[in-house]
């Protein structure tokens, strides 16, 4: 006995009768009287007894359902008309008080509410219609085998064979192979421009920043010292301005003169400047690359490149707001919490003749998140 | 002139000239040099009264001479030394009710102000008398109507927004600390917080953000505080957290309710 013929219509316990024709099943007819023991196979219990809806048996209820559905559709019509009226009639600057929200633009509220009525009226009406008035009979559709009959299958094979034969495909292999090659290759010009259109390879773009200075003709960088400038004021910073506990948001001198790709350059060159008591800095490299406790670190998180700007001056922690990576500034910005993998790159700094802070060189590694070629350029 | 010229070879002439030169240089320097900020108009009585208030209310943590105290529990301090924090720090901490601290915790929270402005000024005068520090800003320094909200907004987004949120609604820091909301904070307290860097907040001294720029920031914060919210519920202006929560809770709730209704047997 398989799934198909276990159905009540195929078994002897059921007599299909009733007002819906001999193909339909009365749901109280599917049950088998048990004998107390566990049967070898459980019989299909059939459907639960069918309960008729109010609208199926009561004419008044059906009328009520009709009115409900009609009312919902009418509500939708009114909503749509209301939307049109509100669109033209309500002053866009007018405000009304909405409890729990406060003063709001009357037009927005009106448009939102009328559009909701317009759409929900249709939706709720349709569902209510289906649930109360549309046919409510459980119908059974029998499965049939997917496989075609042996005759049809043989026919199909012979048609293919005939085609191959009559088109000389079997007798003239040259046609077969050249056509195969042509069809195989014709897709290449479709795919090629897509791959080519991905743009030039990034080269060393990800590994250098504005702090490297302009690129020379031989592909090297000038590495000229650049002044550290306040962002956004674009004014140079004296070392004496940076008191302990201070934090400065820094960009390189001249960055704003860039005529193109300014934001990309700024995103790579953004630096956070902090002053700590030199005695609490544990890394000798951090001290050497700083200036009397003033240290400059890339502001770009090594996880996915968010700006790490949340500096806690008491704990000397730098927190990235995106995924809570935390860097300890006293330990050369080592990661002490979160998903970041590498410490923030430090920018070596010193002061110039006038006492302004300048870079002593570029970042010694690529800033920001990891990428395949990182460290190879 | 002849009399002077006649005495130019007098043995004391060099000494007198040197003295004169030093005096002129000294006065000139004093006239043009940046003044260390000091609380204005504080009298000796204010300082004495401030010290009394300090001894009664602050000394248990900050020490009787405001030298700071350790707890004896590792290197944890009960209260930091206060010499050099300036009147601005006192006015901020006491004026926002953060001090006196109600209970030890990860962060001193804003609370009810415990003292009158006069008493706060007296304590500030006492603390300022210990060592020079940032002074309480003048009315004009913090007048939002004199600032440029546009320029302030730019400064705010670079220097402040990462902790305090682009809408000034505040945000979380590490290990339970947080940057408080800036809405409804008095302009002078905003100025003083930038000047003194209370708790986790870094210092933004007048060389970093000029007083004029600080006033611009205050003007920006006042502007967004007073701006009408007519685009629906702001949900605390906290961005994706509250908005996402709202969408999941109410949006999904509605969808689940609709699914239940659709799946219900009609009879």
Token reading at A222: 């000038």
Residue A162, φ and ψ in degrees, nearest 5: -60, -45
Are B23 and B30 in contact, with CB atoms under 8 Å apart? no
Q: B39-136: CATH homologous superfamily?
A: Cytochrome c-like domain (1.10.760.10)
Which residues from B are below 8 Å from A233, CB to CB? 155, 213
CB A265 within 8 A of CB A212: no
Q: Which residues pair with B79 in a beta bridge?
A: B69
* More confident: A44 or B8: A44
Task: Classify the C-alpha dihedral B108-B114-B117-B122 as positive or negative.
Answer: negative
Give the nearest partner residue to B205 out of A52, A243, A321, using CB atoms. A243
* ipTM, interface predicted TM-score of the complex: 0.75
- Closest chain A residue to the Cα of B195, Cα to Cα: A246
Are B168 and B225 a contacting pair, CB within 8 Å? yes
CB A9 within 8 A of CB A18: no
Our measurement of the distance from residue A249's CA atom to the centroid of its chain's CA atoms, rounded to an integer in Å, reads: 31
Residue A129 CA to chain centroid, in angstroms? Answer: 37
Confidence band of A31 (pLDDT split at 50, 70, 90): low
For the record, the structure tokens of B81 come out as 């030394």
CATH number for the region A210-359 comes to 2.102.10.10
Residues of chain B neighbouring A247 (CB-CB closer than 8 A) = 202-204
Q: Which of A232, A240, A245 sits opposite B203 (nearest CB)?
A: A245
Q: Cβ of A280 under 8 Å from any chain B Cβ?
A: no
Helix (H, G, I), strand (E, B) or coil at A326: strand
SS3 B184: coil
Place of tokens 């130019």: B8
Per-residue pLDDT reduced to its tens digit, B40-93: 556 788 899 999 999 998 988 898 888 888 876 666 778 888 988 999 999 999
| A121 beta partners | none
Work out whether strand A228-230 and strand A247-252 pair parallel, antiparallel, or are unpaired. Answer: antiparallel
Give the CB-side neighbour count of residue B94, counting CA atoms within 13 A. 24
Residue A366: CB atoms within 10 Å? 25
Q: What distance in Å separates residue B94's CA from the closest CA in chain A?
A: 20
Q: Does A99 score more than 90 pLDDT?
A: no
What pLDDT does residue A5 have?
Answer: 42
Q: Is B199 on the interface with A (CB under 8 A)?
A: yes
Q: B64 or B265: whose pLDDT is higher?
A: B64
Tell me the whole-structure pTM to 2 decimals: 0.73
With residue B152 as reference, give the H or E element that holds it.
Answer: helix B149-159
Q: What is the pLDDT of residue B155?
A: 94
CB contact under 8 A, A274 and B163: no
* CB of A33 closer than 8 Å to CB of A42: no
Chain A residues lying within 8 Å of B162, measured CB to CB: 307, 309-310, 321
Q: For B241-253, what is the mean pLDDT? A: 92
B204 in contact with A, Cβ within 8 Å: yes
Angle formed by the axes of helices B117-130 and B86-95, nearest 10°: 150
Confidence class for position A27, pLDDT limits 50, 70, 90: low
Residue A15 has pLDDT above 80, yes or no: no
Residue A2 in this model has a pLDDT that exceeds 60: no
Q: What burial class does residue B192 get, using C-beta atoms within 10 Å of its C-beta: 0-12 exposed, 13-18 middle, 19+ buried?
A: buried
In B, minimum Cα distance to A97 occurs at B230
Chain A contact for B257, CB < 8 A? no
pLDDT at A292 over 50: yes
- Per CATH, B39-136 and B137-228 having the same topology is answered yes
Instruction: Determine which helix (DSSP H) or strand (DSSP E) holds A252, and give its type and residue range.
Output: strand A247-252
In DSSP terms, B77 is beta-bridged to B70
Question: For residues A326 and A338, is the Cβ–Cβ distance under 8 A?
Answer: yes
User: Which range (A28-32, A37-41, A45-49, A242-246) has the least confidence?
Assistant: A28-32
DSSP one-letter string for A176-212: HHHHHHHHHHTTHHHHHHHHHTT-S--TTTTT--GGG
Q: Which residue has the tokens 């009397």?
A: A292
Q: Where are the domains of chain A?
A: 1-50, 58-132, 154-193, 210-359
For B208, which of A51, A244, A248 is closest by C-beta distance?
Answer: A248
Instruction: Give the C-alpha separation, A84 to A349, whole Å.
Output: 64
Taking contacts as CB-CB distances below 8 angstroms, the residues of chain B near A52 are 267
Q: Average pLDDT, stretch A330-358?
A: 94
Q: What is the pLDDT of residues B166-204, one digit of tens each?
A: 999 998 898 889 999 999 999 999 999 999 999 899 999
Most B-contacting residue of A111, A228, A313, A320 (CB-CB within 10 A), to test interface: A313
Minimal Cα–Cα distance from A187 to chain B, Å? 44
Among A25-39, A59-73, A206-220, B236-250, the least confident range: A25-39
Q: CB distance A103–B230 less than 8 Å? A: yes
pLDDT tens-digit series, residues A70-80:
999 999 999 99
Structural fold of domain B137-228? Cytochrome Bc1 Complex; Chain D, domain 2 (1.10.760)
d(CA B204, CA B139): 19
Question: pLDDT band for position A295 (50/70/90)?
Answer: very high
For residue B103, name the pLDDT band (cuts at 50, 70, 90): confident
pLDDT in tens, A151-178: 999 999 999 999 999 999 888 999 999 9
Hey, what are A44's tokens? 């299909």
Q: What is the mean pLDDT of residues B96-102?
A: 89
The whole-number average pLDDT for the span B24-48 is 69
Q: Which residues contact B60 (CB under 8 A, 6 or more apart)?
A: B78
CA distance A53 to chain B (A): 5
Query: Crossing angle for the helix pair B211-226 and B149-159, nearest 10 degrees?
Result: 100
Decide if A313 and B261 are in contact by the 8 Å CB cutoff.
Answer: no
Cα of first residue to Cα of last residue in chain B, in angstroms, is 123
* Interface with B, mutate which of A126, A230, A269, A335 (most B CBs under 10 A): A230
Residue of A nearest to B157 (CA): A232
Who's near B82: CB < 8 A, 6+ residues apart? Answer: B62, B66, B68, B89, B90, B127, B130
Buried b (16+ CB within 10 A) or exposed e, B84-105: ebbbbbbbbbbbbbbbbeeeee
Confidence of residue A270 (pLDDT cuts 50, 70, 90): very high
**B203, A246 in Cβ contact below 8 A?**
yes
How distant is the Cα of B200 from the closest Cα of chain A, in angstroms? 5
pLDDT exceeds cutoff 90 at B260: yes
Q: What is the pLDDT of residue B60?
A: 87
Residue A25 pLDDT = 62
Q: What is the band of A334 on the pLDDT scale with cuts at 50, 70, 90?
A: very high
CB within 8 Å: B162 and A310: yes
Task: Report the C-alpha gap between A293 and B250 in whole angstroms.
Answer: 51
Domain boundaries, chain B: 2-32, 39-136, 137-228
| Residue B19 backbone phi and psi in degrees, to 5 | -60, -45
Whole-number pLDDT of residue A296: 95
A131 and B229 in contact by Cβ < 8 A? Answer: no
Contact B205 A246 (CB under 8 A): yes
A337 touches chain B (CB under 8 A): yes
Contact A274 B202 (CB under 8 A): yes
Mark yes or no for CB contact A313/B231 under 8 Å: no
Contact at CB, B266 and A233, closer than 8 angstroms: no
Quick check: A102 contacting B, CB < 8 Å?
yes
Nearest CA in chain A to B206: A241
Q: How far is CA B111 from CA A24, B57, B94, B172, in A?
A: 76, 16, 9, 19
CA distance B168 to chain A (A): 14
């Amino acid at each position: 006995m398989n799934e198909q013929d276990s159905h009540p219509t195929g078994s002897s316990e059921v007599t299909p009768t009733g007002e819906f024709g001999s193909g339909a099943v009365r749901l109280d007819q599917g049950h088998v009287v048990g004998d107390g023991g566990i049967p070898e196979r459980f019989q299909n219990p059939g459907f639960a007894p069918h309960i008729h809806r109010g609208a199926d048996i009561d004419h008044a209820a059906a009328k009520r359902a009709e009115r409900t559905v009609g009312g919902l559709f009418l509500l939708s019509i009114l909503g749509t008309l209301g939307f049109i009226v509100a669109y033209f009639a309500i002053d866009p600057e007018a405000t009304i008080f909405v409890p729990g929200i406060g003063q709001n633009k009357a037009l927005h509220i009106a448009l939102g509410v009328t559009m909701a009525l317009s759409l929900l009226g249709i939706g709720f009406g349709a569902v209510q219609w289906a649930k109360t008035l549309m046919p409510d009979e459980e119908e059974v559709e029998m499965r049939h085998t997917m496989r075609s009959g042996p005759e049809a299958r043989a026919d199909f094979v012979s048609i293919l064979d005939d085609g191959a034969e009559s088109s000389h495909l079997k007798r003239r292999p040259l046609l077969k192979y050249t056509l195969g090659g042509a069809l195989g290759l014709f897709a290449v010009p479709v795919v090629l421009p897509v791959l080519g259109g991905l743009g030039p390879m990034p080269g060393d773009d990800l590994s250098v920043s504005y702090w490297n200075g302009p690129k020379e003709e031989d592909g090297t960088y000038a590495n000229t010292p650049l002044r550290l400038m306040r962002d956004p004021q674009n004014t140079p910073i004296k070392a004496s301005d940076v008191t302990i506990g201070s934090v400065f948001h820094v960009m390189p001198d001249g960055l704003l003169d860039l005529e193109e790709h300014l934001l990309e350059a700024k995103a790579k060159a953004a630096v956070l400047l902090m002053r700590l008591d030199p005695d609490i800095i544990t890394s000798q490299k951090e001290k050497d690359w700083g200036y009397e406790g003033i240290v400059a670190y890339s502001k770009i998180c090594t996880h996915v490149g968010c700006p790490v700007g949340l500096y806690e001056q008491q704990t000397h922690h730098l927190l990235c707001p995106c995924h809570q990576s935390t860097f300890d500034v006293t330990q050369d910005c080592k990661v002490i919490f979160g998903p970041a993998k590498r410490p923030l790159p430090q920018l070596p700094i010193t002061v110039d003749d006038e006492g302004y802070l300048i870079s002593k060189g570029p970042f010694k590694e690529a800033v920001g998140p990891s990428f395949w070629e990182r460290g190879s350029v | 002139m002849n009399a002077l010229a006649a005495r130019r070879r007098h043995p004391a002439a060099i000494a007198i000239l040197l003295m004169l030169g030093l005096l002129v240089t000294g006065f000139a320097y004093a006239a043009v040099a940046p003044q260390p900020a000091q609380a204005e108009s504080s009298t000796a009585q204010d300082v004495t009264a401030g010290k009394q208030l300090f001894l009664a209310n602050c000394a248990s943590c900050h020490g009787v001479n405001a030298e700071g105290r350790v707890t004896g529990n590792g290197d944890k301090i009960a209260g930091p030394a206060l010499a050099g924090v300036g009147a601005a720090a006192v006015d901020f901490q006491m004026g926002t009710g953060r001090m006196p601290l109600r209970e030890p915790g990860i962060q001193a929270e804003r609370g009810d102000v415990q003292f009158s402005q006069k008493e706060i000024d007296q304590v500030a005068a006492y603390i300022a008398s210990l060592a020079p520090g940032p002074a309480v800003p003048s009315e004009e320094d913090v007048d939002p109507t004199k600032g440029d909200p546009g320029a302030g907004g730019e400064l705010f987004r670079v220097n402040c927004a990462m902790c305090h949120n682009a809408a000034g609604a505040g945000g979380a820091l590490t290990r339970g600390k947080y940057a408080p909301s800036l809405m409804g904070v008095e302009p002078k307290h905003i100025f003083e917080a930038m000047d003194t860097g209370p708790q986790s907040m870094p210092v933004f001294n007048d060389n970093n953000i000029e007083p004029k720029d600080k006033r611009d920031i205050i003007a920006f914060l006042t502007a967004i505080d007073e701006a009408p919210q007519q685009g629906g519920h702001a949900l605390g202006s906290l961005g994706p957290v509250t908005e996402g929560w709202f969408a999941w809770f109410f949006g999904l709730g509605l969808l689940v309710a609709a699914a239940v209704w659709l799946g219900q047997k009609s009879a």
